[in-house]
Amino acid sequence: MKRLTILAMIAALITTACRKDIHLNLQNASGLLVIEGNVNDQPGPYLVQLSKTVTFYDQDTVVPVSGATITITDDAGGYDSLQELTPGYYYTTTLSGTVGRTYHMHAHTDGKDYDATGTMQPPVAVDSIGISGSFFSSNPRGFIQFSDPAGIVNYYRTVLYLHQYIDSTTTDFHHTRQHKVAVISDRLSDGLTIQSSVRSDYDIKTGDTLQVRLDAIEKPVYDYWYTLNNSTTSSNTAAPANPPSNISNGALGYFSAHASTFSKHVIYDGNLRFHRID
b/e code 130-141 from CB counts within 10 Å (16+ = b) = bbeeeeeeeebb
- Residue 76 interacts with another protein (CB under 8 A): yes or no: no
Distances in Å between the alpha carbon of 175 and those of 48, 123, 159, 233? 22, 22, 12, 27
Residue from the set 169, 234, 271, 278 that interacts with another protein by CB under 8 A? 234
Residue from the set 28, 42, 66, 170 that interacts with another protein by CB under 8 A? 28
Q: Whole-number minimum distance, CB 266 to another protein, in Å?
A: 18
Nearer CB in complex with another protein: 190/207: 190
Q: Rounded to whole angstroms, how far apart are CA atoms 264 and 173?
A: 13
Nearer CB in complex with another protein: 74/224: 224
Residue from the set 124, 127, 170, 188 that interacts with another protein by CB under 8 A? 188
Q: Assess contact for 256 and 118: CB atoms under 8 A.
A: yes
- Residue 17 interacts with another protein (CB under 8 A): yes or no: yes
Q: Assess contact for 119 and 151: CB atoms under 8 A.
A: no
How many residues in the shown chain lie near another protein by CB under 8 A? 75
Residue from the set 93, 237, 276, 277 that interacts with another protein by CB under 8 A? 237
Q: Which of residues 110-169 bind another protein (CB under 8 A)?
A: 132, 135
151: left (phi over 0), alpha (psi -120 to 50) or beta: left
